[in-house]
């Protein structure tokens, strides 16, 4: 069956210049048939190709682009290659321990988040993974196979319990892939004298359990927080507050919510 085509009003060349989302209000015409989650061709108002992406007619974000190449074949080998590229890039950036493996649109895998947690106690490596969209959900098996192949985790935990899935027409769910394993972890942020041990719960914590996309920002607080009074609002696992205390801030107050403040004395970090 021929691939469906979507013609859009790309005002200001927003899509052509790199934005990965096509909104429902941009769609001018659809040609051909498709099922929700299928990969479709996207073109501008003059039918000039913009790329390919998966479509969901129930979403305000009608198409999420996977590639700007109209001729690239999107299938299991495509997904496998994207996971491999993402992991190779993390390795080149020196991210050897706990880190974000897949950054969604930034790795040309829209709707996918994969975080690697390395437990400081026993070295076990587990992935916390979110499939946020219908289009990416359809590639679940290919994604998990590729993550097993390249990252080689000891376990994978799905955190598909976020509200955006309901907007995509998907059920909320969470749990391990395969057999159960320990989900309350202790991870390390930073190296040497700057290292901080942090607790992360990939089953019950917010999103994937810890904001691994913010690790370098967490560590950076050690440099500019010295001698200061630091307030870490909505601290979650304490990423900014704990590093501020480690970096010799005069005082650190972390607020889990407006009603639940907590303080971290530096002595607890020694």
Divide the 270 residues of the chain into consecutive groups of 10 and give the mean pLDDT of each group.
92 94 97 96 96 95 97 96 97 91 96 97 97 97 98 97 93 95 94 89 93 89 84 86 87 70 45
**Ramachandran angles phi, psi of 79, nearest 5°:** -65, -45
Q: State how many domains the chain has.
A: 3
Q: How far is CA 145 from CA 13, 37, 141, 178, in A?
A: 36, 20, 6, 13
Q: How far is CA 222 from CA 182, 212, 213, 226, 232, in A?
A: 30, 17, 17, 7, 13
User: Token match 């950076």: residue?
Assistant: 220
The pLDDT assigned to 102 comes to: 98
Whole-structure pTM value: 0.88
Q: Are residues 81 and 181 located together in one domain of the fold?
A: yes
Q: How far is CA 17 from CA 27, 32, 82, 252, in A?
A: 18, 26, 21, 43
Q: What is the C-alpha to C-alpha distance for residues 63 and 57, in angstroms, rounded to an integer? A: 8
- Please say whether the dihedral angle defined by the alpha carbons of residues 62, 67, 73 and 78, taken in this order, is positive or negative: negative
Let me know if residue 201 belongs to a domain.
no
Contact yes or no for 169/58 (Cβ under 8 A): yes
Let me know if residue 191 belongs to a domain.
no
Q: Are residues 264 and 224 located together in one domain of the fold?
A: yes
What domain range is 137 assigned to?
A: 76-185
The pLDDT assigned to 181 comes to: 95
The pLDDT assigned to 257 comes to: 58
Q: Are residues 171 and 217 located together in one domain of the fold?
A: no
The pLDDT assigned to 267 comes to: 36
CATH code: domain of residue 60: 2.30.130.10
The pLDDT assigned to 234 comes to: 85
The pLDDT assigned to 4 comes to: 97
């Amino acid at each position: 069956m021929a691939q469906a085509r979507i013609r859009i009003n790309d005002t200001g060349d927003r899509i052509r210049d790199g934005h990965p989302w096509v909104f429902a209000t941009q769609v001018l015409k659809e040609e051909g048939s498709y099922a929700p989650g299928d990969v479709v061709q996207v073109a501008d108002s003059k039918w000039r190709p913009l790329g390919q992406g998966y479509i969901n007619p129930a979403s305000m974000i009608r198409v999420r682009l996977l590639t700007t190449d109209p001729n690239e074949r999107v299938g299991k080998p495509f997904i496998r290659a994207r996971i491999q590229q993402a992991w190779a890039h993390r390795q080149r950036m020196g991210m050897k321990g706990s880190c974000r493996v897949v950054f969604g649109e930034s790795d040309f895998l829209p709707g996918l988040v994969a975080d690697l947690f390395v437990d400081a106690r026993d070295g076990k490596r587990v992935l916390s993974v979110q499939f946020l969209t219908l289009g990416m959900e359809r590639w679940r098996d290919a994604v998990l196979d590729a993550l097993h192949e390249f990252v080689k985790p000891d376990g994978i935990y799905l955190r598909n319990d976020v509200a955006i899935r309901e907007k995509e027409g998907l059920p909320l769910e969470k749990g391990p892939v395969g057999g159960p394993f320990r989900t309350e972890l202790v991870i390390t942020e930073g190296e040497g004298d700057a290292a901080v041990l942090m607790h992360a719960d990939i089953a019950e914590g917010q999103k994937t359990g810890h904001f691994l996309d913010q690790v370098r920002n967490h560590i950076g607080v050690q440099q500019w927080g010295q001698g200061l009074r630091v307030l870490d609002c909505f601290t979650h696992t304490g990423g900014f507050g704990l590093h501020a205390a480690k970096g010799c801030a005069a005082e650190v107050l972390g607020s889990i919510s407006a009603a639940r403040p907590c303080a971290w004395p530096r002595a607890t970090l020694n």
